[in-house]
Amino acid sequence: MVRKNERLRQLLLREPSFELALGLSRHPPFTAQDRLELEAAVLDTFVRMDYEIGRPDHDPWINIYKVQEFLFRFWGHRNDANTAGFWFTLNQDLFPERHLYNEHVAGAPRGALPGLVPRYGQNWFTSLVGRYDEEFVMRPMEDPAAQGRLHGQMNVIKLHGSFNWRSADGDNLLVIGTDKTAKISATPLLAWYADIFRQALFAGDVRLMIVGYGFADEHINAVIAEAIANHGLSVFIWNTAPDLKQQVLAAPYGATIWRGLISTATRRLVEVFPGNQSVTEEYRRICDTFFT
């Protein structure tokens, strides 16, 4: 559809960022139909990405079992008496739903999507998730903040929604493009998620691991920076960018975020979690630095 729409085609040739392109498509000379076509193309891209994420035959492929072990370390140890765990993500794909399982090895609870109404037969956080279809669509509870549950589970908090979420009137519940803050505030589920994010980071002397984030979202950076400045937050940044320090310092609130730094990691996941299932020195270093 986009290739047949000359206005959109020219827009994407000028603007390689699909998020900025979506923002521009909301203004003249673009029409409402143009915007719908571009949003449909983005959703189709997410579906194609999900097909790749769900493939079992990638080569090289990461040791997903070691990744799972690492992620469930954020729950804590068996004797810590923790009541809730959190994985905050800005990604809108289904990687957590497809790959966050084997929690029993760490003594942690299952992953969960708080504030969403489970559909009959949906079976997230398992190796048995099938190929994407319309049965994957999920909708939020009417009042997520009042009805949602956080305790006793590993909460996957998708701060910008997910490509398979729909509102009661059928609108897509994913925040992309520009003016993200306004859309989050107007969406009860995402507004609740934003509150959870703030509360978790403001809890006092918290450690936050930031993986693969480009620091382009000012509203996210503002919360991290305030937590560093006023609530004792420390951050570990895992990012393969060759100019990571410059990238952070150039971002909104970047200087404050960098002052909260514990350490960094710059290796790719496949190097830290190789498919031969070896335990790498870099994995040991990351764990020793962050968790101890």
Q: Which residues pair with 139 in a beta bridge?
A: 117
Confidence of residue 246 (pLDDT cuts 50, 70, 90): very high
Q: Look at residue 81 in the predicted model and tell me its pLDDT.
A: 65
Helical H segments across the chain, by residue range: 6-14, 18-24, 32-54, 64-72, 95-99, 144-147, 180-185, 188-201, 218-231, 244-250, 254-259, 269-272, 281-291
Q: Beta strand 207-211 with 234-238: parallel, antiparallel or unpaired?
A: parallel
Q: Beta strand 161-166 with 172-174: parallel, antiparallel or unpaired?
A: antiparallel
Is the pLDDT assigned to residue 248 strictly greater than 80?
yes
Contact 221, 249 (CB under 8 A): no
Is the pLDDT assigned to residue 238 strictly greater than 60?
yes
Tokens of 155: 């909460």
Q: Look at residue 79 in the predicted model and tell me its pLDDT.
A: 55
- The mean pLDDT value for 4-9 works out to 86
Q: Look at residue 34 in the predicted model and tell me its pLDDT.
A: 87
Q: Look at residue 25 in the predicted model and tell me its pLDDT.
A: 87
Q: pLDDT tens across 38-89, in order? A: 888 888 888 899 988 888 777 678 899 999 999 999 987 655 667 889 999 9
Q: What percent of the chain has pLDDT over 70?
A: 97
- The mean pLDDT value for 250-265 works out to 98
Q: Phi first, then psi: give them for residue 158, nearest 5 degrees.
A: -90, 95
Q: Look at residue 261 in the predicted model and tell me its pLDDT.
A: 98
Least confident of 50-59, 101-110, 221-230: 50-59
161: nearest Cα among 199, 193, 118, 201: 193
Q: Which residue has the higher pLDDT, 228 or 79?
A: 228
Q: Look at residue 177 in the predicted model and tell me its pLDDT.
A: 75
Is the pLDDT assigned to residue 235 strictly greater than 90?
yes
Q: What's the chain's average pLDDT?
A: 91
Contact 63, 274 (CB under 8 A): yes
Contact 26, 35 (CB under 8 A): yes
Q: Look at residue 35 in the predicted model and tell me its pLDDT.
A: 85
Is the pLDDT assigned to residue 135 strictly greater than 80?
yes
Distance CA 25, CA 19 (A): 10
Confidence of residue 144 (pLDDT cuts 50, 70, 90): very high
Confidence of residue 178 (pLDDT cuts 50, 70, 90): confident
- The mean pLDDT value for 162-189 works out to 89
Q: Look at residue 80 in the predicted model and tell me its pLDDT.
A: 66
- The mean pLDDT value for 130-157 works out to 92
